[in-house]
Amino acid sequence: MPDFPATASCLVVDDEADIRELLVLTLERMGLSVECASDVAEAQRKLEQREFALCLTDMRLPDGDGLELMRHIFQHRPGMPVAVITAYGSAENAVAALKAGAFDYLSKPISLKQLRPLVQSALKLSERAEPRTAGLALIGDSAPIRQARQMIDKLARSQAPVYISGESGSGKELAARLIHANSVRCEGPFVPVNCGAIPENLMESEFFGYKKGAFTGALQDREGFFQAASGGTLFLDEVADLPLPMQVKLLRAIQEKKVRMVGSTQEENVDVRIISATHRNLSQMMENGLFRQDLYYRLNVIELRMPPLREMAEDIPQLAANILEKHCRELGTAIPRLSEPAAMALIRHGFPGNVRELENVLERALALCDGSAIESGDLLLEASASPVEDVEFAHDGEIPLPEYLESIERKIILDALEKTGNNKTAAAKLLGVSFRTLRYRLERLNLGKD
C-alpha cells in the first residue's frame, strides 16, 4: 500500500545510473512518482517543468555540485526540502550541506533503512499538522527573544544538528523542546540526557544499550538513549561534560547514523536528531584540547543562542506574571498581585541565574507574601548593580501597571542618556543592558529619534 498520495513526487539527481535505479525502485515502492536527472542543468530544467515534493541530490555532479542546485531550489522553490547524498566518510560535505539549509543527508553506500524515514519525514513538512506546543512557549516581546523564536521556527524545518548556547537557566532545554515540538518529529519521543550526571564507566551502555550477558549484571537486552529516541530527538544537555573517549564514540554514531550495543557484533541504524547544549564555552574547550574538534563541528552545525535575562529586562513583568500563574495553578491558590516596587526591583536585578533564578525568587515570594500582593521585601533580592535611586515611585493607583512601568523605564533611559551625553553605547553600559536592547527600547518608547 502506498505511503503517500499518488501526487507526491521526488526528483533524484545523481550521475551514477545504479544509484538512480536503486532510488527509483525504493521510492516507487513507497508510492512516490520519481523523475531523474544526471546533472545540475537537467535538474533545473525538470524543476521548471513541474512541482516536486522532495529533491535527493548527489553532492558531486558533472557540471556543478549539490550546493549549487540547493541554492537554485531555495530561490525558485522555497519550502521544498532537499536531502543530499555524500560520499562515504565525507563528513565535511554533509556539514556544509546542512549549514546551507539541507533537510538531511545520506552517505554512500545508501542504506534503505535510513532512506525511508528520511523521505517520510521530508514529505511531512508540506502536510504538517499544528505543532504540539501545549505548555511550551518563549515568553516576551524583546528583540533577543523574538530572534530566538524566529530561529527556532527555521530550525524546526531541518534535521540538522543544533547546538544551543547560553548561560545556566536561560531556557536551553525549553528551546530544544520547542524545536522538537514544531518539527516533523513532534510525534516521536523527546529524550533529554544530562551528560554530566552519567558515570564515565556507564556512558557507552547508557547511550547505546547492551546485550544480555555483555557484563556482570546484564541479565537482559536493554536499549540505550539512541534507541529510546528513535524517530524523535535526543537532547544532550551539558555535552561539554562528556569525556574524550565517549566523544569519539558519539562522533561515529552521529556521522554514520548507526550504533553498536555493548556486547553486540553488529551495528544498527538509528533515526535520531541530535540537539546539544551547554553553558560552557565549547570553542575554548576545543582550543584547550578538552573537546574534540571534529565532534564540535558535527554538533555545532547550526547554533542557537539563548539570551540571558539581563538582555531582555523589559520582558520580566510578563515572565513574572506567567510564572506566578503557573505556580498558583499548581497550588490551587489565588494569584497575588505583583506590586509596582516589587516589579521594578525585579527589572533592576541582574539575575545571574536567569529565568531559573526568577522562578526561584517568585516561588519564595509566594511563600512569604500575605497572599494578596507580593511586595519588594518578599523577593529578598540583593542590591541591584544598576541603582536607580533617583526615580520617584509615586503612583496614584489609577494607571495600569504596564504604562506605569514604561513611564519609569522612560525616565531611567533618559537619565542615563543625559548622564552620558546622549552616547547610547555608554548609556547601555550604564544601564547594564546590550546596545541592541537599548536601541529596541528606545524605538518602542518612541525615543529612537535623535
Contacts of 302 (CB under 8 A, 6+ apart): 98, 99, 155, 158, 160, 161, 162, 163
Q: Taking the CA of residue 61 as centre, how many other CA atoms within 13 Å lie in the half-sphere pointing to its CB? A: 26
pLDDT tens digit sequence for 254-269:
988 899 999 999 999 9
pLDDT at 383: 44
Q: Is residue 164 within 8 Å of residue 175, measured between CB atoms?
A: yes
Give the per-residue pLDDT at 385: 40
- Does residue 392 carry a pLDDT above 50? no
Whether 108 has a pLDDT exceeding 70, the answer reads: yes
CATH classification at residue 91 = 3.40.50.2300
For range 34-39, the mean pLDDT: 95
Q: Rg (Cα) of the chain, in Å, rounded?
A: 26
**In the chain, what is the greatest distance between 2 CA atoms, to the nearest angstrom?**
80
Question: In terms of domains, do 250 and 343 share one?
Answer: no
Mean pLDDT, the chain, rounded, equals 86
Can you say whether the dihedral through the CA atoms of 204, 205, 207, 209 is positive or negative? positive
Give the residue from 192, 276, 196, 260 showing the smallest Cα distance to 228.
192
- Domain identity same for 390 and 278: no
CB 4 within 8 A of CB 47: no
- Supply φ then ψ for residue 378, to 5 degrees: -75, -20
Residue 389 has pLDDT above 60, yes or no: no
**Average confidence (pLDDT) over 14-19:** 94
Helix (H, G, I), strand (E, B) or coil at 181: helix
How far is residue 36's CA from residue 400's CA, in Å, rounded to a whole number?
64
Q: What is the pLDDT of residue 87?
A: 82
Residue 70 sits in the same domain as residue 219:
no
DSSP state of 384: P
Range of the domain at 352: 309-444
31 with 174, same domain: the answer is: no
Residue of higher predicted confidence among 283 and 234? 234
Domain count, the chain: 3
Please check whether residues 166 and 297 belong to one and the same domain.
yes
* CATH classification at residue 354: 1.10.8.60
* Exposure letters 377-410 (e unless 16+ CB within 10 A, then b): ebbebeebebebeeeeeeeeeeeeeeebbbebbe
Residue 402 is predicted with a pLDDT of: 61
Read off the pLDDT band of 253 (50, 70, 90): very high
pLDDT in tens, 287-320: 989 999 999 999 999 999 999 999 999 999 999 9
Is the bond preceding 109 in cis, omega lying within 30 degrees of 0? yes
Mean pLDDT over 443-447 rounds to 76
Q: Are residues 101 and 50 in the same domain?
A: yes
